[in-house]
A and B are shown apart, each in its own frame.
Chain A
């Protein structure tokens, strides 16, 4: 059974050997003459400005936070989805209430500009 995977394993082995081999050979044999211009950060040929590690806009954090909340709250749907048929109207109403509360939160974030990318 497992022997049928042998060619694939061989293929991976060859791929790794070639990859490491080529990179290693160039490192060992290639000439290296570093100078200030070469070590500079490449910014489309223009003289770079500022730090190398850029600071991400706070917007990214905001979006990440909002995404996480709404993403994980979806977990609450899971038990209901599994038992939807047994729970019938009761479960549906409970879920509607849950979505309503979540929806008002969503509307509030929207109104306060939580989804606005530009200032």
Chain B
């Protein structure tokens, strides 16, 4: 009997995260409760260690678990974005959530699931990754049990998440049923050689998979849970899941749709393009009338997911590369914005209203200027990282003939200028109130997070070429060139 080759190298960063979480839980057995928050530093070390091994793995493609997991450049690049967001969850979480071993373990497991999802090339491991990422996030959303909003967020996330997982799973069943294969490569081969039992099964499968992931990516009309969950969850968790989940779901969509299911045979492209246009228009319009900062960022996140999906709808190598760049860009600017929100608001999330940002530039200049940079980056103003990101996506859309998609991007961006610039103007407006609506000073780790994200937003905005080279390799990796 021959065993599947496990090859631990293919999941080395994942193993590090898992080991850290187990150690954290083990230490918690002997640690008094009041010192539980110190485990946060352990989580931080674990994530940093996982980031440190990424460059070492870059040299070679590792295949593990009998071909279910591939650690290629695409997976590693997405892993980097995911780990950065996990880092933010720990850095910001120190004061926000009174974290203990449970918080540390849950964040690590969610990051683990996201990383499995981006490197999964078999239906089984894809499903496993999706669930390992979802289950801890349900709990994390409701981590502040003392707050009604947090509990409600957990409930809504759970019901919508489990529902969408069911739809996604049914899609996987149809893909399996159409070809009798579970590995994406053999599904693709079966489709290309016309070894499918029923062409309709493929179409249904692709549609259900797309809808299931559309829930996770928060595409309109599957977005209703997002604003509530983003507002209700603790801010560090919101920052983590808004970026991490998008990176992971984008990875899965790319691997399943653009690579395994050739668009010429399985017609998923119109559906994705339709969702993208709907998301771009609706997400931006709905963000206009928000008065809560986190809620506005939630709708902006929906709109940003729309840009990402345009990259998939373009269905080209250029599109995938542009999407990957955008994931990294989104990680820096979005986590940065949430980090400022976290640094400003206290334990009970007071001061999350946009109105309370009035005159911030005169009281907390460093945070106000950083927030300005992040918001302008999200609005894709040059020379910040959002600009090259959106430019690459626009180029990919146009070069594959998606003129309507390109128009949707431009219109969406124009709408978004209003709600991104409004808080900026407010921050630089003198306010009569001398009393600050924000509580005491932030934890130093929040400032570190803001600083790191600011550096990323500026450097990659001015020198996007630093990233495009490695990403080109990553695109080649998944297309098997």
Asked if residues B22 and A111 are in contact (CB atoms below 8 Å), the reply is: no
Check: B28 CB closer than 8 A to any chain A CB. yes
Asked if residues B29 and A108 are in contact (CB atoms below 8 Å), the reply is: yes
Check: B25 CB closer than 8 A to any chain A CB. yes
Residues in B2-35 with C-beta less than 8 Å from chain A: 3, 22, 25-26, 28-29
Q: Which residues of B contact A90 (CB under 8 A)?
A: 3
Asked if residues B25 and A104 are in contact (CB atoms below 8 Å), the reply is: yes
Q: Which residues of B contact A118 (CB under 8 A)?
A: none
Kindly identify which residue among B1, B3, B29 contacts A107, using a CB–CB cutoff of 8 Å.
B29
Q: Nearest Cβ distance between residue A81 and chain B, in whole angstroms?
A: 16
Asked if residues B3 and A101 are in contact (CB atoms below 8 Å), the reply is: no
Q: Nearest Cβ distance between residue B36 and chain A, in whole angstroms?
A: 11
Q: Which residues of A contact B22 (CB under 8 A)?
A: 101, 104
Asked if residues A104 and B1 are in contact (CB atoms below 8 Å), the reply is: no
Asked if residues B1 and A111 are in contact (CB atoms below 8 Å), the reply is: no
Asked if residues B25 and A105 are in contact (CB atoms below 8 Å), the reply is: yes
- Interface size of B by CB at 8 A reads 8
Asked if residues B3 and A108 are in contact (CB atoms below 8 Å), the reply is: no
Q: Nearest Cβ distance between residue B103 and chain A, in whole angstroms?
A: 13
A58 to B184, CA, bound (A): 45
Residues in A55-104 with C-beta less than 8 Å from chain B: 86-87, 90, 101, 104
Asked if residues B28 and A108 are in contact (CB atoms below 8 Å), the reply is: yes
Asked if residues A104 and B26 are in contact (CB atoms below 8 Å), the reply is: yes
In the complex, residue of chain A having the shortest beta-carbon distance to the beta carbon of B22: A104
A86 to B1, CA, bound (A): 7
A87 to B3, CA, bound (A): 8
A108 to B25, CA, bound (A): 7
Q: Which residues of B contact A108 (CB under 8 A)?
A: 25, 28-29, 101
Q: Which residues of A contact B28 (CB under 8 A)?
A: 108, 111
Residues in B196-223 with C-beta less than 8 Å from chain A: none
Chain A interface residue bracket vs B: under 10
Q: Which residues of A contact B1 (CB under 8 A)?
A: 86-87
Q: Mark A103-117, 1 if CB is under 8 A from B, else 0.
A: 011011001000000
- Give the most central of A101, A105, A108: most B CB within 10 Å: A108
Q: Nearest Cβ distance between residue A58 and chain B, in whole angstroms?
A: 13
In the complex, residue of chain B having the shortest beta-carbon distance to the beta carbon of A107: B29
In the complex, residue of chain B having the shortest beta-carbon distance to the beta carbon of A101: B22
Residues in B79-136 with C-beta less than 8 Å from chain A: 101
Asked if residues A111 and B3 are in contact (CB atoms below 8 Å), the reply is: no
In the complex, residue of chain A having the shortest beta-carbon distance to the beta carbon of B31: A111
A90 to B29, CA, bound (A): 30
Q: Which residues of A contact B25 (CB under 8 A)?
A: 104-105, 108
Q: Nearest Cβ distance between residue A57 and chain B, in whole angstroms?
A: 18
A101 to B132, CA, bound (A): 15
A107 to B26, CA, bound (A): 8
Q: Which residues of B contact A101 (CB under 8 A)?
A: 22
A101 to B22, CA, bound (A): 7
A28 to B22, CA, bound (A): 68
A107 to B25, CA, bound (A): 9
- Give the most central of B1, B26, B101: most A CB within 10 Å: B1
Q: Mark B440-457, 1 if CB is under 8 A from A, else 0.
A: 000000000000000000
A26 to B22, CA, bound (A): 65
Q: Nearest Cβ distance between residue A91 and chain B, in whole angstroms?
A: 9
Q: Which residues of B contact A107 (CB under 8 A)?
A: 26, 29
In the complex, residue of chain A having the shortest beta-carbon distance to the beta carbon of B33: A112
In the complex, residue of chain B having the shortest beta-carbon distance to the beta carbon of A100: B22
Q: Nearest Cβ distance between residue B344 and chain A, in whole angstroms?
A: 33
Q: Which residues of B contact A87 (CB under 8 A)?
A: 1, 3
Q: Which residues of B contact A104 (CB under 8 A)?
A: 22, 25-26
A105 to B21, CA, bound (A): 11
Residues in B142-166 with C-beta less than 8 Å from chain A: none
A18 to B401, CA, bound (A): 81
A81 to B26, CA, bound (A): 28
In the complex, residue of chain A having the shortest beta-carbon distance to the beta carbon of B105: A108
Q: Which residues of A contact B3 (CB under 8 A)?
A: 87, 90
Q: Nearest Cβ distance between residue A65 and chain B, in whole angstroms?
A: 12
Q: Mark A17-48, 1 if CB is under 8 A from B, else 0.
A: 00000000000000000000000000000000
A104 to B26, CA, bound (A): 7
Q: Mark B25-57, 1 if CB is under 8 A from A, else 0.
A: 110110000000000000000000000000000
**Given known contacts A87-B1, A104-B22, A108-B25, what 14 new A-B pairs fall within 8 Å (CB)?**
A86-B1, A87-B3, A90-B3, A101-B22, A104-B25, A104-B26, A105-B25, A107-B26, A107-B29, A108-B28, A108-B29, A108-B101, A111-B28, A111-B29
Lowest 6 CB-CB distances: which A-B pairs, in order? A86-B1, A108-B25, A111-B29, A104-B25, A104-B22, A104-B26
* 17 pairs from A and B in contact (CB 8 Å cutoff): A86-B1, A87-B1, A87-B3, A90-B3, A101-B22, A104-B22, A104-B25, A104-B26, A105-B25, A107-B26, A107-B29, A108-B25, A108-B28, A108-B29, A108-B101, A111-B28, A111-B29
Q: Which residues of B contact A (CB under 8 A)?
A: 1, 3, 22, 25-26, 28-29, 101
